[in-house]
Each structure stands twice: as structure tokens, then as C-alpha cells.
Chain A
Amino acid sequence: MILVVDLCYRDGSLSRDEFVAPVERILCRAETPFLTRHYTAVGAPDLKSADAAILCGTALMDTGYMEQPELFRWLLSFERPVLGISSGMLALAAAFGGGTEPCCEIGMVDVNVLAPDPLFAGQEVFPAYEVHEHAVRVPGEFVALAASDRCVQAIRHRSLPLYGLLFYPEVRNEWIVERFLGLAARQSP
């Protein structure tokens, strides 16, 4: 089961259909069971039963999740595959001590793959949809996997299957989410 985490400003918000529902639809199409929880309501049973987690994005003005870092500490000991999307990447990096820096990209941007990884195998550069004002400073335990001309676009933990993407893969790059699901399925007991 995949735990889908909604980072939007409140549970059942107007942003949910924009940032969470498209990810849920990819999971439905892939016939992958999932459970969606707002980030303020993720409980121990949810974490225990999850084979992987996807942290969804938020609206540009929606940064409330950053004010409650304690609600993302579970990422430090989760140890199963995680995909943090845009704001989800910022939350993942922050949990591991990574900061942010201003970097605004809105619209389609070319993403260049920097390091080999199963998530981007066979790709050198691809266009991706971005809506963000900040990028991450890559935490020490992570490596940069891809970048645009302006900032790091994808990171992975050095020894765990924890990924962060600054762009929105659900827009025109669903194959990345599908590859992540394949990776999660292979790691599932």
C-alpha cells in the first residue's frame, strides 16, 4: 500500500484536487492500493502498513507545512521508498537538515539528468512542469540526480530509496511516478 500524503493548507482543501487527486489517479490506473492522509493526520498504523510514501505538492503560497517540521520526522526512520514532489521534496530535504534557497521557476523547464539512477534511466534531458519559489540545498546524506539551468531538480538519499523532485511528474511525466511505483513494488516484502 502506498501512503499518499496531502501537504495542502487543510484537510479537504480546495487545493486537494490539484495536487493530490492527479497522483491518486496515477495510482488507480496502475492498480496500486493507496491510502491518503493529510500531513497533520499521519499516524503510526498508516506508516506501519505503507510500502512506500508519496508527499504531494502544494500551491505556491501554501507553505504552512514548513512550519510544522515535527510532523515529518517519521521520514527519518521510514526507510521504505519515498517520493517527495515539489513541496514534498522541500519537506523531505528539511527532515534531513536540508535548507532552501530562493529559485522561482513557473512553467515548462528542461531538466538535465546528472547521475545514473533507475528513476531516470535512459533519459538525458526532459521537459518538466514547475511551480515553485524555492529550491533545496541538498542535505549531506543526499545526492543531486538532476538539475535545470537554475537549480537542483531531483535528489536521492545516498543509501535509502528516498527521492525528491522539484517539478511535478504528474504533469507530462507520469512515467517517473510509474517507475517509482515499480521500485516500491520490488522493495515490498
Chain B
Amino acid sequence: MKLGVLFSGGKDSLFACWQAIQKEEVACLITVVSQNPESYMFHTPNIRLAALQAEAAGFPLVEVETAGEKEEELLDLKRALLAARERYGIEGVVTGAILSVYQAARVQRICRELGLWCFNPLWLADQEAYMEELIGAGFTVVIAGVFSAPFDESWLGREIDRRTLDELRAIAQKYQVTLTGEGGELETFVVDAPFFAQKIAIEEASKVYRNYNGVLRIERAGLVAK
């Protein structure tokens, strides 16, 4: 089955993509670029670098802009899925949804309207097992956004390796935040994945941070040999 993967550049969409590669045929990646920093559906820091990640993975990218107005952006998602179906013949969509019934239900409805299958391979995943599998499988993931106490500026740009995972585990227990960042506490950016032919080198980045809210803005990045 030819599938399009809803792609934010973060760990969940990349891991879902990897699951899809192993079971079906990934035909393209699909990115909705939101201008609205409050968007529940699509806003992520560094979404513009999805094109570089797609190039690293060797998949075509369908990119659609949205103003990010609450229900309007769903029409933009529909437009993106239609474009992916037209250009690459996708029969289904893969998402990285884990817990959000808000996001999952909206994508399900659009897929139904378009007659597309909908896959959520991380749905209700055990957070501990998922994070272990992510690291064990060879994903290199950096923290690109923090949106909750107790994350200070030093967390921006940190790689999620086993040591960082241990710290996240302790924080998750103490502060009632999710280990995966599913509650919106963290955003991530994937610089390497098992299916990347090349990996991403962050050449220049800046941090914008205030009161437990911050993002790592990747100003310049390129592909390098693995």
C-alpha cells in the first residue's frame, strides 16, 4: 500500500515513518507549515527543515502552507493529502499521534472524506519502551523546543541519548510531564534516522528562551555522510 507520512520533522513522525517503511511502501512525506505559533495541529520549530530531512531520507515532500486558523488548517491538511494522492498515488496516511484524540480524530475524519486509510503506529505506545526503541534503533534526536517547567535553556539542542533519557525520566516522575513530550512539554528535531542515507549537520543555531518556553532556531544546516 502506498502511504504518505504526515511529517513534522520531530521524533514521532520520523519513528512512525520508519514503522511504515518496514510494513508498507512510503511514497512521500507530507508537511503542513503553519504560520500560527499557537496551532494545536501543526506548529513545530524548524518545520522548514523538513525538506532537508526528506532529502536525507530520499522521499519526495509535499509541503502546504497554512495560516493556522483553527478549522481552516484542516482544509489545508486536506489540500495537502489531495496533492499527495494526486502526485504520488497514496492510498493511506501515517501519523505519529500517540495520545492526542484531538489530532487523531481530525486526521481520521479527513482520511474518511478522502477514502484514505489512516495509520497511527505509535497510538497509546508505552512511553518508556518507545523512547528506548527510538534510541536503540539509531535515531539521533535533539530537543528543539521546551514549553514547560523545569526545562531551562540548557535543554535546547541537547541530544536525547540514554543519559538525557535518565534525566527526563526523573523529571517526568517529579513534575508530571510526559516522557515523550506528548503533552506539549518538548519539541524535537531528528538529525539522523536508520533510513537516512545522509545525516543532518546543524551548522548554526540560536536559542530563544524565556520563562520555561524556548526554541532552538536552526539557522543553517546541511547533509553530511554518515
* A133–B115 alpha-carbon span in the complex (Å): 12
Contacts A25-B126, A170-B124, A171-B124; A17 near B105 (Cβ below 8 A): no
Out of A22, A62, A106, A170, which one reaches B105, CB within 8 Å? A106
Contact A59:B124 (CB < 8 A) given known A14-B23, A131-B108? no
Contact residues, B149-164 vs A (CB, 8 A): none
Are B111 and A14 within 8 A (Cβ)? no
Taken together as a complex, chains A and B put the C-alpha atoms of A133 and B24 apart, in Å, by 24
Interface positions, chain A 1-59, Cβ under 8 Å from B, are 12-15, 17-18, 21-22, 25, 59
Q: Which residues of A contact B117 (CB under 8 A)?
A: 59-62
Q: Is A102 an interface residue (CB 8 A)?
A: no
Contacts of A21 in B (CB 8 A): 124-125
Query: How many pairs of A and B residues are in contact by the CB < 8 Å rule?
Result: 61
Query: B residues within 8 A CB of A133?
Result: 112
Measured CA separation A13–B126 after assembly (Å):
19
For chain B, residues 98 to 135, give those with C-beta under 8 angstroms from any C-beta of chain A: 101, 105, 108-109, 111-112, 115-126
Are B23 and A13 in touch, CB under 8 angstroms? Answer: yes
Q: How many residues of B contact A (CB 8 A)?
A: 24
- A15 touching B108, Cβ below 8 Å: no
Partner of A59, one of B19, B105, B109, B119: B119
Bound form: Cα–Cα A21–B121 in Å: 10
User: B122 — nearest CB in chain A belongs to which residue?
Assistant: A17
Answer whether residue A104 sits at the interface, using C-beta atoms and an 8 A cutoff: yes
**Smallest CB separation, A148 vs chain B (Å):** 15
The residues of A that contact B101 with a CB separation of less than 8 Å are 107-108, 129, 171-172
Given A14-B20, A17-B123, A61-B116, 6 new contacts (CB under 8 A)? A17-B121, A18-B123, A59-B118, A60-B118, A129-B105, A172-B101
Q: Which 5 A-B residue pairs are closest in the complex by CB-CB distance? A: A107-B105, A14-B23, A22-B124, A18-B123, A61-B117
